[in-house]
Amino acid sequence: MTAPERSRLARDRLSRELRRLRTEAKMTGTAAAKAAGMSQSKLSKIENGMLLPSVRDVERLAGALIATEDTAFELVELAKLLHAEVETRRVVLHRGAHRHQQTVGRIEAEATTSRFFQLNMVPALLQSDGYLRVVFAPLPQDEREAAVSALRGRRGVFNDPEKQFVFLLTEGALRWRMGSSEVMRSQLDRLVEVSRRPNVRLGLVPWAANADVVALHGFQVYDERVVTVSVLTGNATITDPADVHEYLELFGRLERLAIYDDDLRGLLTRIAEDYRVLR
């Protein structure tokens, strides 16, 4: 049984037990709601599974319906469990580049292993200053300056030898020209430099690879706890363990498609030469 199915059954049980208590107490919905300090429509939604009651709601209903001590304790604990699961499965959307850089910076500071996959651009931590300016160019000046400052601060995590970083890019991400040929060549030089760091593993999925893996978007995974995904209107943070596990499995399949070390640097050199010709 999946986690969502278990959660649904638990919610059904909570609703059913509260409805049973009211029936055994021989109270109307209106009377029970008044005794518990809520509206009759809210109680109706709770009893029909349309609304998850708060822990305080369950405590008040258990008291108003004269539940036994054991029953009241069981229902309150069930409500606590359900709310914990809802919080765990919540996807938080952060708006604003500066706020996102701060949020991710805190997550990175706590993580031991950070994994990054990008389809059509260079991951933020690997961006050269020229590339970075192009990425943040559409932002208002105040927000742009704050975001650039926060991102530069994040780069300090590379200096911690206890932290490991795994980056996966597609060749298409490096062929997507962000700015001038000079900007792209400088960016490729930075990738070569970063690829030699002892705590960094940089992989590139070449166009020639038989990429039989469906990856709909870029993402970042921090340890086995948090996934972040950039979307058009913000940046989503995912903490549900089942979802995080799926992203880790996808990352593992993508890793097997990539090239590394000297093969990687050889391809980066060839791409840089293509940009030199374009100049």
d(CA 76, CA 67): 11
d(CA 133, CA 191): 17
Please give the backbone phi and psi of residue 113, each rounded to the nearest 5 degrees, phi first: -125, 125
Domains and CATH numbers, the chain: 3-89 (1.10.260.40), 91-278 (3.30.870.10)
Top pLDDT among 58 and 7 is at 58
What average pLDDT does range 252-275 have in this prediction? 97
Q: Residue 237 — very low, low, confident or very high, per pLDDT cuts 50/70/90?
A: confident
Q: Quick one: what percent of the chain has pLDDT higher than 90?
A: 60
pLDDT value of residue 152: 79
Mind listing the pLDDT tens digit for each residue in 11-36? 889 999 999 999 999 999 999 999 99
Other C-beta atoms closer than 10 Å to the C-beta of 199 total 14
d(CA 88, CA 167): 26
3-state helix, strand, coil in the chain (%, to 5): 60, 15, 25
**Do the Cβ atoms of 111 and 63 come closer than 8 Å?**
no
Residues β-bridged to residue 219: 117
pLDDT value of residue 96: 53
Please name the residue ranges forming H helices in 111-255: 129-136, 141-154, 171-175, 181-195, 241-255
Q: Residue 110 — very low, low, confident or very high, per pLDDT cuts 50/70/90?
A: confident
Rg (CA), the chain: 26
**Do the Cβ atoms of 271 and 174 come closer than 8 Å?**
yes
Residue 94 has pLDDT above 80, yes or no: no
In three-state secondary structure terms, 94 is: strand
Q: Which residues contact 88 (CB under 8 A, 6 or more apart)?
A: 239, 240, 241
Q: Residue 86 — very low, low, confident or very high, per pLDDT cuts 50/70/90?
A: low
DSSP string computed for 164-201: EEEEEEEHHHHHS--S-HHHHHHHHHHHHHHHT-TTEE
